[in-house]
Amino acid sequence: MSKGKDKAIVVKRVAPARKGHHGGAWKLAYADFMTAMMAFFLLMWLLSAATPVQLKGIAEYFQQPLKAALFGGDRSADSSSILKGGGRDISTDAAGVTRRTEGSTDKATHTTAQNDDQAIDPLKGSLERREQERLHDLQVKLMAAIEANPILRQFKQQIRIDSTLQGLRIEIVDTQKRPMFATASDDVEPYMRDILRAIGKTLNDVPNHIVVQGHTDAVPYAGNGRGYTNWELSADRANASRRELVEGGMDEGKVLRVLGLASTQNLNKADPLDPENRRISIIVLNRKSEEAVMRDDSTTTTLSNDAAGATSFAQKMQPPLLKAPGEQAGSTGKQ
């Protein structure tokens, strides 16, 4: 055989080049988005758990200039005025009034006030949280007592418990078929007596004071000419409810107010004649409402003497003395 026929023939087949995978870019963008959302929700959670003092500090941090944050120095929050040193005080219109405090004095005053706020605010917030917990526990106990008592359970549709700005409000609502009191009277019906006494026993679990309010509908009271109206009726029913609360075991000193409001605060404003407007409201006051009531009780108005301190209010109100003919003011007899 010839040499040409013995030679092997090699055929090279080159596979076509594959393009790179290009579908993974969206995964990186999605991962960045999820990371940002996680950081955002974590930030919102931390802010919701922060105290008012901490939030105030965070706000002050972002309000200070970048140069003061990086290199130190005075901040605009260190002084009550944007102009330090002498010169006319721009915070007053009085002529010739100059600033008599240095920036260091203002800073010390600001620091002292800030420290006082930091010491008071956490204590106030802690007291409010404990009070809210007490009122919530009271609401749970009242609802449990109604469910546990077979007599009260059938009247639970007439008992409404909710939270207001004043505190915890407990309302016993009247109905057409099941009135709380005798017609046009403050005589308490037996089922209403059971409800009030059960509530009175539970109110001693909290130290808060209460206010008892009586409400009527807009139907005029059919009196017998004695001038007895819905105002007197609502006040008498509120006081009768107070007596039943005390009979149930409530401390009598817990009551701060017994009010008769007639039909001035209708539950159904669209229908003033609705029987549901006849109700008794027992408000367990929170600390702010108690302080407001106590402050109103302690506020008095006094009448003082005049500037010279010689003439009393009673002397001012006396009519002038009539003088006989020939008599002069300040004389002791006739001329």
State pTM to two decimals: 0.53
Token code pair at residue 193: 């007596």
pLDDT(269) > 50: yes
Please check whether residue 314 lies inside any domain of the structure.
Answer: no
With respect to residue 48, please indicate whether it lies within any of the assigned structural domains. Answer: no
Query: How many domains does the structure of the chain reveal?
Result: 1
b/e code 64-74 from CB counts within 10 Å (16+ = b): eeeeeeeeeee
Q: Are 229 and 181 in contact (CB under 8 A)?
A: no
- Taking residues 259-287, report their average pLDDT: 91
Separation between Cα atoms, residue 92 and residue 95, nearest integer Å: 8
The stretch 82-86 carries a mean pLDDT of 45
Q: What is the mean pLDDT of residues 255-274?
A: 92
**What average pLDDT score do residues 95-105 get?**
46
Structural domain harbouring 275? 132-296
Share of the chain above pLDDT 90, in %: 24
Is 90 exceeded by the pLDDT of residue 242? yes
Mean pLDDT of 317-332: 46
168 inside domain: yes
Q: Is residue 30 part of a domain?
A: no
Report the chain's terminal Cα–Cα distance, integer Å. 183
> Angle formed by the axes of helices 190-203 and 103-148, to 10°?
140
Q: Who wins on pLDDT, 270 or 148?
A: 270
Separation between Cα atoms, residue 170 and residue 199, nearest integer Å: 9
More confident residue, 266 or 221: 266
Contact 216, 259 (CB under 8 A): no
Cα 96 → chain centroid: 44
Q: Is 268 left (phi over 0), alpha (psi -120 to 50) or beta?
A: beta
Which two structure tokens, joined as six digits, stand for 147?
A: 């469910």
Domain-embedded: residue 46: no
Residue with the bigger pLDDT between 313 and 149: it is 149
**CATH code of the domain covering residue 241:** 3.30.1330.60
The answer to the question of residue 231 being in a domain is yes
- The better pLDDT of the pair 47, 192 is held by 192
Position 227 scores a pLDDT of 80
Is residue 210 included in any domain, yes or no? yes
Asked whether residue 166 is assigned to any structural domain, the reply reads yes
| Residue-wise pLDDT tens digits, 68-81 | 555 555 555 454 44
Identify which of 8-17, 164-173, 219-228, 294-303 has the greatest average pLDDT: 164-173
Mean per-residue pLDDT, 4-29: 72
Q: With bands split at pLDDT 50, 70 and 90, how would you rate the model's confidence at 134?
A: confident
Mean pLDDT, rounded, of the chain = 74
